[in-house]
Amino acid sequence: MAYDLVNVTKKMRAHIVEMLAAAGSGHPGGSLSATDIIATLYFKHMHVDPGNPLWEDRDRFVLGKGHAAPALYAALAMRGFFPEEELITLRKIGSRLQGHPCRTETPGVDMSTGSLGQGLSVANGMALAGRLDGRDYYVYCVMGDGELQEGQVWEAAMSAAHYRLDHVIAFVDHNGLQIDGPNSQVMNVEPIDEKFRAFGWNAMRIDGHDLDAIDAAIIAAKATEGKPTVIVCETVKGKGVSFMENVVDWHGVAPNAEQAKRALAELAAN
Amino acid sequence: MNSATREAYGKALIELGNTNPQVVALDADLAGSTKSAGFGAQHPERFFDMGISEADMVGTAAGLATCGKIPFASSFAVFCTGRAFEQIRNSVCNAHLNVKIVGSHAGPSCGEDGSSHQAVEDIAIMRSLPHMTVVVPADDVEAYAATLALAEHDGPAYLRVARLASPTIHDEDYQFDLLKGDLLRDGTDVTIVACGMMVPRALDAAKQLAEEGIDAQVVNIHTIKPIDEELLVTCAQKTGKVITIEEGSIVGGLGTAVCETLSEKCPVPVRRIGMFDIFGTSGEGSALLDYYGLNAEHIIDCARELCQ
């Protein structure tokens, strides 16, 4: 089934705004910047079965930057893993949708994340298991740019290259901002692609909101043999909501009702 | 017989490799010391040396576990529980994943390498994690059985093994039960609760105490979490006095676990032997155990005081 990716990303962004407004807390900026990457994966590339979330041959997804959970939840709900109406239960007691992903509670979530820097190691382990079992699935991991400041990311980068994990495809959602300010001021992470290349990876740098570019990069990554691929995605924090775009304060604050209304009107108009 | 618990762990791991295709092993450049190297030699495709990166090792193990593998991730107890604590917390325990963390060279019996390499806090921090099972085998027979049992147990676990060889106290036909404490000697005057290499010392103390008319009971609590509350309460009711001994900190370890149970279910006087708010130091391993009073003499002193 072919999806209209433009419409998918619009709807995902609207869901993100609505569920964060309903929750009254959460992370809009990094959810909106990662939306196009996650949409392209779940609606164009990943082999998954919403009727059988634990299907052994499925492609895996690890959200290293677990605070972008609203984007993942929107994709999973729209893909049919659970009802879209459930999205507004985000962060509430008794909800299956915790503030950060939880593999035991949410259908379709392959790994519990939220503590930055741990996702890529897990993705490597999934890829090693796939190799041992003779399965051909891919493991996708989306990391934040600030997340690259965690040392474990580079331990895992070393391991993925050492074990030639060409079925690991990582993304860096490079929106340039983290809680305390721009990466360049808090702790410089550039040059990201050169760092990964030096670790033995295939590295690309693309516009992370260009759906065709994301698609092409994934196709190129799948064609790469003998080494893992990282796709450094240049993104805009808060993408799609003008008053959130490139504003660091929207990292971890939910819109109020009036702001959500404005954001939804903007998203509908575009 | 009379080998180190880490040796028995290594042998059991090879056996698991032969019998259970889902078992995989990881190490952080200490495979020769933790004894996971034997598995690596026999099952190279299922063995992953992650280099000196415990955090990545635990995360990789978690990823393998999401796909149904049963990873045993080994390093020195200090490093795999301390360096990777938050990975164990979030990527293993909070994610409900079937990963076995194996810490060797635990406690001062690690020896000459000194305090930086001697875990005294590992039991406490592993025990504090929801879902985590914590096992400290008393001898090689039990370490072998415990390793096999943990592969069958679905859930995260920490297995603590020692560097030094120690006396075998169990028969070859010993039936290990992960959830049941091991009453090694019955008695009426005082209960000695021990784990790991302290168990043979507890038996030795009981033998000496018998000569002076003190009838001591010896309980091997190999599984510190979940602890066998029923056995502890039964013993405390019988003797009314308890001594605990462990090779590590009494803050949060076996002694704490016993006190938590007994203070709520059967309050009796308890004396905890172990290390209190100190790190270890360099020295020959078994001499260090005496240096820190982790021996039969200390148990005997406590028993005399309690039984006065």
Per-residue pLDDT reduced to its tens digit, B173-204 = 999 999 999 999 999 999 999 999 999 999 99
| Residue A38 pLDDT exceeds 90 | yes
Task: Return d(Cα B92, Cα B219) in angstroms, integer.
Answer: 31
Amino acid at A229: T
Q: Which residues contact A96 (CB under 8 A, 6 or more apart)?
A: A82, A86, A89, A105, A106, A107
Beta carbons of B123 and B137 less than 8 angstroms apart: no
The reply to whether B212 belongs to the active site is no
Which pTM was predicted? 0.98
CATH number of the domain to which A258 belongs: 3.40.50.970
Topology alike, domains B5-160 and B182-307? yes
Which residues of chain B fall short of a pLDDT of 50? none
The percentage of residues in chain A with a pLDDT greater than 70, rounded to a whole number, is 100
**Residue A121 and residue B59: Cβ atoms within 8 Å?**
yes
Q: Which CATH architecture has domain B182-307?
A: 3-Layer(aba) Sandwich (3.40)
- Domain B5-160 in CATH 1.10.1780.10: no
The total of structural domains in chain A comes to 1
- In chain A, residues with a C-beta closer than 8 Å to the C-beta of B45 are 132
Nearest CB among B66, B87, B94 relative to A126 is that of B66
Considering only the beta carbons, identify the residue of A111, A117, A125 that sits closest to B60. A125
Q: Where are the domains of chain B?
A: 5-160, 182-307
A14 and A264 in contact (C-beta within 8 Å)? yes
User: What whole-number percentage of chain A has pLDDT above 90?
Assistant: 99
Range of the domain at A129: 5-269
Distance from CA of A243 to the nearest CA of B (A): 34
Å between A113 CA and nearest CA of chain B:
7
Catalytic, out of B7, B54, B142, B246: B54
Nearest CA to B6 out of B112, B159, B199 is that of: B159
Mean pLDDT of A225-254: 98
Q: Which helix (H) or strand (E) holds B63?
A: helix B54-66
* Contact by Cβ (8 Å): B77, B109: no
Please return the burial class of A54, using the count of CB atoms within 10 Å of its CB with bins 0-12, 13-18 and 19+: exposed
Q: Say if CB B76 and CB B105 are below 8 A apart.
A: yes
Would you call A125 and B61 a contact, using CB atoms and an 8 Å cutoff? yes
Are residues A158 and B86, on separate chains, in Cβ contact within 8 Å?
Answer: no
Nearest-Cα distance to chain A for B50, in Å, is 7
pLDDT computed for residue B258 by the predictor: 98
CB neighbour list of residue A227: distance below 8 Å, 6 or more residues apart: A161, A164, A166, A200, A201, A202
Residue B119 per-residue DSSP state? B
| C-beta of residue B160 within 8 angstroms of C-beta of residue B196 | yes
**In this prediction, does ipTM exceed 0.95?**
yes
What would the pLDDT profile of A131-155 be if each residue is shown by its tens digit? 999 999 999 999 999 999 999 999 9
Cα gap A58→B22, rounded to integer Å: 19
Residue A191 has pLDDT above 90, yes or no: yes
pLDDT at A85 over 80: yes
- Does residue A9 surpass a pLDDT of 90? yes
> Is pLDDT of A270 > 90?
no
The residue among A106, A188, A120 whose CA lies nearest residue A154 is A120
